[in-house]
Amino acid sequence: MTEPDGRDDPGEAAHPEAGRAATGRGTRNGRPVPLYVVTGGRSGTPGRRDPLVLDLVTLVVTRTSPVPPGMPPEAAALLRACRYPLSAAEISAHLALPFGVLTVLLADLEADGHVELRQTRDAERDAADTDIETLKALIDGLQRL
Amino acid sequence: MVCNDSEHPAPPGPRVEDRLPESAERSLKIVVVGGFGAGKTTLVGSVSEIRPLTTEETMTRDSVGVDDLAGVGDKTETTVAMDFGRITIDRRLVLYLFGTPGQQRFWFLWNGILEGALGAVVLADSRRLADCFPSMDRLEEDGIPFVVAVNVFPDSPTHPPDELRAALDLPDHVPLVACDARLRASGRDVLLTLLRHLYDSATTAVSAPDPSEAP
Ligand SMILES: Nc1nc2c(ncn2[C@@H]2O[C@H](COP(=O)(O)OP(=O)(O)O)[C@@H](O)[C@H]2O)c(=O)[nH]1
Ligand SMILES: [Mg+2]
C-alpha cells in the first residue's frame, strides 16, 4: 500500500491570515435541548433505572418472535429488521424513518418489552467516558483491518 | 433464533452478510467533520464494512433557534442527513463512523451527534482550510477530542506541517496527519491516530501521581 504523497508535508493553508477567531463562536445559544430520553415509555414505569438516552449507535435487538399480530407496519418492520443487533442509525436508514420518529417508536417498543436496547447513554453525561480496555480493543481491531 | 426470511423475501433490514453478531453489545461512534468536498463521505465509505447508509433528522425552526437560521432563509424545517459506516471490532464491540454534511452549517444542532462520541476526525482540505474552522470551534466548545487529517488532493499546495498547524491554530497536543480518504489503509490510519491519541490521554490521566504510592 502506497503512502499518500506529502504525508509529512501536508500543504499550505489557503489563507493563513484568516484566523479561526473570525469564524465566530457562540452557537451554543441556538442549541436544541430535547434529548431522546427513554423513560420507560408513555406509561412511565416507576422505579426504573435512571433515564437513558437513546443514541444513534444504541443497539436494538428484538425480543418478541414471531412479530405479534396487530403491530403497526413500521413497528413490525423494525422487529423483523432487528432479529440481530442493529443500531438505531441503521434502522433509521433501512426503514427510511427520521431519527426523531424512530426514537418515539423505540421507546414504546422497549416499554412493552418487544425490544432490548444495548448501549444507551447516561442522560447527564456529554462526553464519552471510554475505558482503557475498550480503547485498546478498538486499536487492536483497527490494526487487523 | 427463528428466521422467517423465506416468508418475507425482501424485508427492510441488513443483508444476511451484514448482520452483527448476536453478542454485539457495545457501540461507539466517531464523527468525521469538515467542509463541503473535504472527503468525509469518501473516508466513511473507504473504511466501512457495509455500504454507507444515510440517516436523517428533521429540525424545526424552534429547535435550532430563529437567530441561527437567519442566513438559511424562511424555512421552518430543515433536514440534516448523516452518512455513516460501520466497523465490527470483535464479538462485543462495534464502531460507527458518522460523516457530517458539509454543506449545512448547522449540522451540529442535531442533538446527539456529538454527545457520547469517542472523538472526531477533522478533515481539512488545504486548498480551503477555513472551511473546517466552524467544525473545529464546535468540537473545542464541546470538549470533544479530535485529530486533524489533511486530505491530499492532486493540486494541494505542499507546505510544512508547522505552518499548517499555525494556520489552523492547532495546539501541539492535537495530532495532525495527512491522508488519502479514498484509501482504506489511509483512512484506517487516521482512525488509529485518533484512538492512540485518546489512549495516550487516558493512560496519562491514570498514571498521574497516586497519593497512595507516596513514600
Ligand atoms: N484526490 C483525492 N480526491 C478525493 C479524496 N477524498 C475525496 N476525494 C474526492 O473529492 C470529492 C468530494 O469528496 P466527498 O467525500 O464527497 O466530500 P464530503 O463533501 O466531505 O463528503 C469526491 O469527488 C471524492 O472522490 C482524496 O483523498 N484525494
Ligand atoms: Mg459528503
**How many A from CA of A62 to the centre of ligand 2?**
32
Better-scored residue on pLDDT, A111 or B195: B195
Q: Which of A31, A33, A78 to mutate to test the interface with B (most CBs of B within 10 A)?
A: A31
> Smallest Cα–Cα separation from A128: which of B109, B57, B112?
B112
Cβ pair A30, B64 in contact under 8 A: yes
Give CA torsion, residues B193, B198, B202, B205, to 10 deg: 90
**A3: helix, coil or strand?**
coil
N residues, chain A: 145
| B199 belongs to a structural domain | yes
Print the domain residue range for B129.
Answer: 23-63+73-204
> Smallest Cα–Cα separation from B133: which of B82, B160, B167?
B167
Give the ranges where A49-128 is alpha helix by DSSP (H). Answer: 73-81, 88-95, 99-111
C-alpha A44: how far from chain center: 22
Strands in chain A per DSSP E: 37-38, 52-53, 59-62, 86-87, 115-118, 121-122
CA distance B134 to B61: 21
CATH number of the domain bearing residue B119: 3.40.50.300
A9 pLDDT exceeds 50? no
Closest Cβ opposite residue B137 in set A10, A25, A31: A25
Predicted TM-score (pTM) of the model is 0.81
**B45: helix, coil or strand?**
helix
Q: What is the ipTM of this complex?
A: 0.85
Using the Cβ of A1 and the Cβ atoms of chain B, whether some distance falls under 8 Å is answered with yes
| B180 belongs to a structural domain | yes
Using the Cβ of A4 and the Cβ atoms of chain B, whether some distance falls under 8 Å is answered with yes
CA distance A15 to A22: 12
Residues 6+ apart with CB under 8 A from A4: B152, B178, B179, B180, B183, B186
A138 pLDDT exceeds 90? yes
pLDDT tens digits, B75-108:
567 888 999 999 999 999 999 999 998 777 778 7
| B83 belongs to a structural domain | yes
Residues 6+ apart with CB under 8 A from A144: none
- Look at ligand 1, atom 28, and give the residue with the nearest C-alpha: B153
Partner-chain contact B178 A126, CB within 8 Å: no
Strands in B61-107 per DSSP E: 77-88, 93-99
| B81 belongs to a structural domain | yes
Q: Which three cell numbers stand for residue B150?
A: 489533511
pLDDT for residue A46: 45
**A116: helix, coil or strand?**
strand
pLDDT tens digits, B154-173:
888 887 889 999 999 999 99
Better-scored residue on pLDDT, A18 or A26: A18
State residue B132 phi and psi, 5-degree precision. Answer: -95, 0
| B94 belongs to a structural domain | yes
Number of domains in chain B: 1
